[in-house]
Amino acid sequence: MTAIRDTAADRRFQIFCCIIVTILLLLAVYPLLYVCSASVSDPKLVASGKIILLPKGITLEGYRRVFQDNNILTGYLNTIFYTCFGTLINLLVTVPAGYALARTTLPGKKLFMTFFMLPMYFSGGLIPTFLLVNQLGLYNTRAVMLLIYAFSMYNCIICRTFFGSLPKELEEASIIDGCSPIQTFMKIVLPLSKALLGVMVLYFAVAHWNTYFSALLYLKDQSKFPLQLILRKILVLEESSADMLSSVGEEAAAAKFQLKELIKYSVIVVSSLPVLVLYPFLQKYFAQGVMIGSVKG
């Protein structure tokens, strides 16, 4: 088919969209620039509000303090491990379940939905879960970080919605051709679900990347700590020693205080940068028209 050209009205609309989006972009970009600038600026200027956009009084002290900790590298490696394998396990557990729940003919569908949704609202709490992890022998193992949130009902519902909106004709066609459900799922449905998989990977990967509370509770060896926990510990360490010193009026408290503020910003940059880089790789899955030609007529 020949390409349809936009009308003049369409072009005006497109420009209008661009303007709105650019405004929103500037609003969203400002905190990012602020954080980046603040992380390399003189903490005194940050505290007195003199940093608006560009850094002033450039200092790398915050980053130096963060990277001074030997555990940062192990933190990165651990987090990459947890993110990759954790996301994999998440996908294997959640996506097929979403597909199965999308089957309108599945007996007991409502039962399963209720079964999966109840824990979203009712939870036993930290202590019973901790005792369970202990009993299963998972305390202080890397496995606990991968298994404890293996299933996410929220994401499963998104999968179910998506699979449910696929045209039924596709699956009927493959069943007539003699494919089992699993083959249908893998050979036909999945390739059409690139956008969904992109979103799932993003959600799961970011969740794993940001996790620190499970690690706090269930891990003891520092060699297993993920990045966020190590960064948080650095922050708390600086905070508590600054508070402790300032309460008795140590003059070094002044320097520590301001360093602590600086570190807050450096920590965000250090921990978020890798994830931000992930998105462009996933963007191609969100491209339009992935389903062209799949259903004729």
Partner 1 sequence: MKTPRPIPHRTSRGLRGRLRCLMQAVWDHRLYYLMLLPAFAAVLIFSYFPMYGIQIAFKDYKGSLGFAASKWVGMKHFINFFNSYNCWTLIKNTFVLSLYSFLASFPIPIILALLLNEIRGRYKNFVQTVLYAPHFISLVVLVGMISTMLSPSIGSINTMIEMLGGKKIYFMSLPSAFRHIYVWSGVWQEMGWSAVIYIAALSAVDPQLHEAAIIDGASKLQRIWHINLPTILPTVVIMFILSAGSLASVGQEKVLLLQNDLNLDVSEVISTYVYKRGVLHANYSFSTAIGLLNNLVSILFLLGANWISKKATETSLF
Partner 2 sequence: MIGKKFALLLACVVIAVSVCGCNNNSPSSENGVSSAKSSSSAVSQETFTPSYPISKEKITVKGALIGEYNITEPRLSWETLEEVTNIHVDWEVIDKDAIAVFLASNNWPDFFEESLDNTYLADYGVTGGKFVNYQNYLQYMPNLQQAFADYSDAIKVVKETNGEIYQLPYIGNDCTAVTARMYYREDTLKNAGCEVPATADEFHDVLVKLKAYNNGAAPLAEDREQFLWASFGTGKNPDFEDDGTGKVVFNRVSDQYKLYLQYMNRLYSEGLLHQEYLTLDASTKLSLAQEGLTVFGHDGLAALSEDAFSSGKVELNQLAPLTSSYDDTRVVMGWRYCQPGGLSINSSSQYIPELCRMFDIMYSNKEVVSGTDVYSMLFHYGLEGTTWKWANSEHTQYELILPKELEEVKSFGTYMTDSWYYGGALGRFDLFANATTSTEGNNKARQQGFVKNLIPYQEKVAFPGNYLKFTEEEQAIIDDAYTTISSYVTEMKGKFITGVASIDTEWDNYINQINQMGLDEVLAAYQAAYDRWNA
Binding site for partner 2 (CB under 8 A): 43-44, 46-49, 85, 88-89, 92, 126-127, 130-131, 134-135, 137-143, 146-147, 186-187, 213, 216-217, 220, 233, 236-237, 240-241, 244-246, 248-254, 256-258, 261
**Taking CB under 8 A as the criterion, which residues in 180-199 touch partner 1?**
180-182, 185, 194-196, 198-199
Q: What does 67 bind: partner 1, partner 2, none (CB cut-off 5 to 8 Å by kind)?
A: none
Q: Considering CB under 8 A, how many residues would be counted as binding partner 1?
A: 104
Query: Could you say which residues in the range 73-132 bind partner 1, by CB under 8 A?
Result: 92-94, 96-97, 99-101, 103, 105-108, 110, 112-113, 115-116, 119-125, 127-129, 131-132
Toward partner 1, which CB reaches closer, 72 or 197?
Answer: 197
DSSP class per residue in the chain? -PPPPPPHHHHHHHHHHHHHHHHHHHHHHHHHHHHHHHHHS-HHHHHTT--SSS--S---HHHHHHHHSTHHHHHHHHHHHHHHHHHHHHHHHHHHHHHHHH-TT-TTHHHHHHHHHHHHH----HHHHHHHHHHTT-TTSSHHHHHTT---HHHHHHHHHHHHTS-HHHHHHHHHTT--HHHIIIIIIHHHTHHHHHHHHHHHHHHHHH--HHHHHH---GGG--HHHHHHHHHHHHHHHHHHHHHTT-THHHHHHHHHHHHHHHHHHHHHHHHHHHHHHHHGGG-S-TTTTSS--
| Least distance CB 166 / partner 2 (angstroms) | 18
C-beta of 72 vs 192, nearer to partner 1: 192
* Shortest CB 101 distance to partner 1, Å: 7
Select 252 or 287, whichever has its Cβ closest to partner 1. Answer: 287
- The nearer residue to partner 2, 23 or 88, going by C-beta atoms, is 88
Q: Side chain identity at 217, as an amino acid letter?
A: L
Q: Which stretch binds partner 1 (CB under 8 A): 12-20, 64-72, 76-84, 240-248?
A: 12-20
- Does 154 bind partner 1 (CB under 8 A)? Our answer is yes
**Out of 150, 236, 237, 244, the residue judged to bind partner 1 by CB under 8 A:** 150
The Cα–Cα gap between 163 and 171 comes to: 11
* 74 or 272: CB nearest partner 1: 272
